[in-house]
Amino acid sequence: MKALVFHGPHQMAWEDWPDPHPGPGQALIAVRAVGICGSDVHGYTGLSGRRVPPMIMGHEAVGEVVALGKGTPDGFLGQQVIIRPTVVCGQCEMCRSGRANLCKNRSMIGVQQPGAMAEFVAAPVENLLALPEEMDCEAGTLVEPLAVGVRAVHQAGNVSGKRVLIAGCGSIGLLTMVAARQGGARQVAMTDVVAKRRETARVLGADLAIDPRQPDWQEQLQRAVGGAGVDVAFDAVGIPATFEQAIFSLSWCGTLVALGGWQTVTLDLPRLVGREIHLAGTFNYTPGEFELAQQWLAKRVFNPAVFITDLYPISDGAQVFARLAQSQSDSIKVVLTADQR
């Protein structure tokens, strides 16, 4: 088969790769669409060491089941499916306690296992959800990042009636806003330095979208939320600037949820302690949260077309990654498709 192979920082090529074969309990999926995650770009540039070359990336994927491994029910054949990329053991302490996202034996398609930026990918059938009939393949790629937002909001506790700030209007930040709205958040403000992303945040229902480079951005936020700060803040980027935006926006006894984990940040302990701020991390999602994300997308709680700003064939992926790595883009979600359009 052909695959988009990562060979090292800034090295990627569409080339021949051995065909995958489904093992027992697995399906072989013809890839129809796969989203590019920010973590894929971080892997491509070498910022993250989780992707070890040579390998195939891609974990936000939709496709058609074309073959089955031994012991797999025939009913899966021909189905259009969304792939949950996190493979868990179901037996360890974390899995048994309902935190399968922290499975001690987990692996991820597109990270530790061959991913979906290829003609075919193999995945356990228990990791497949049916693509709703009314949903196109490109929209289905949003289930995985939406599940990340669902998990983040769950880690914040009850957000109903709360004032919320989300630092970062990329796809994860925007989908976290969707999840916060579904959780009943009263007000949602967002920050980003890219005007197009702030505009998208407003279209999706943000009450306020601020450029944090403006000297009075904090005053704008305080006026919007009544002068008391927000109850919950999410850092959806994971760099010192956005972490500071999140923690300094919080009121007393507020909660900060860190989604991004790419850089080490300085923690203002006097502020954390003196205001009794709660700090929580969030990682991936549980299988149940992935299913909830699929249900929300099927109900069209938001318009997927607002997110998917760029479509390219997978065969052009090397050039697409190079462009994404060169400069900060105003794209929200870039999707690679099997269609040569």
333 shares a domain with 275: no
pLDDT of residue 341: 39
Report yes or no on 95 lying in a domain. yes
Report yes or no on 200 lying in a domain. yes
How far apart are the C-alpha atoms of 101 and 90, rounded to whole Å? Answer: 10
Question: pTM, whole model, 2 decimals?
Answer: 0.94
311 shares a domain with 213: no
269 shares a domain with 152: yes
| Chain centroid to CA 183 | 18
Coil, strand or helix at 256: strand
Q: In CATH, what number is assigned to the domain containing residue 247?
A: 3.40.50.720
Mean pLDDT of 243-258: 95
256 shares a domain with 170: yes
- The yes-or-no verdict on residue 205 having pLDDT over 50 is yes
In the chain, how long is the greatest CA-to-CA distance? 62
Backbone angles phi, psi at 36, to 5 degrees: -95, 120
Domain count, the chain: 2
Report yes or no on 56 lying in a domain. yes
Q: How confident is the model at residue 339 (pLDDT cuts 50, 70, 90)?
A: low
Query: Which of 233, 248, 281 is at the close of a domain?
Result: 281
Torsion of CA 253, 254, 257, 261, to 10 degrees: -80
Report yes or no on 297 lying in a domain. no
Residue range 122-149, pLDDT digits in tens: 999 999 999 998 899 999 999 999 999 9
Report yes or no on 28 lying in a domain. yes
Query: Which of 281, 313, 329 is at the close of a domain?
Result: 281
The domain in which residue 177 lies consists of: 146-281
Report yes or no on 68 lying in a domain. yes
271 shares a domain with 165: yes
Closest CA to 257 of 184, 107, 150: 150
Q: How many CA atoms lie within 13 A of 179 on its CB side?
A: 32
> In this structure, what token pair is assigned to residue 188?
């949602």
Closest CA to 234 of 201, 262, 258, 209: 258
Q: How confident is the model at residue 285 (pLDDT cuts 50, 70, 90)?
A: very high
Report yes or no on 172 lying in a domain. yes
Buried b (16+ CB within 10 A) or exposed e, 129-165: bebbeebbbbbbbbbbbbbbbbbbbbbbeebeebbbb
pLDDT of residue 184: 97
How far apart are the C-alpha atoms of 123 and 25, rounded to whole Å? Answer: 9
Report yes or no on 126 lying in a domain. yes
Mean pLDDT of 79-106: 96
Q: How confident is the model at residue 328 (pLDDT cuts 50, 70, 90)?
A: low
Query: Mean pLDDT over all residues of the chain?
Result: 93
How far apart are the C-alpha atoms of 157 and 113, rounded to whole Å? Answer: 32
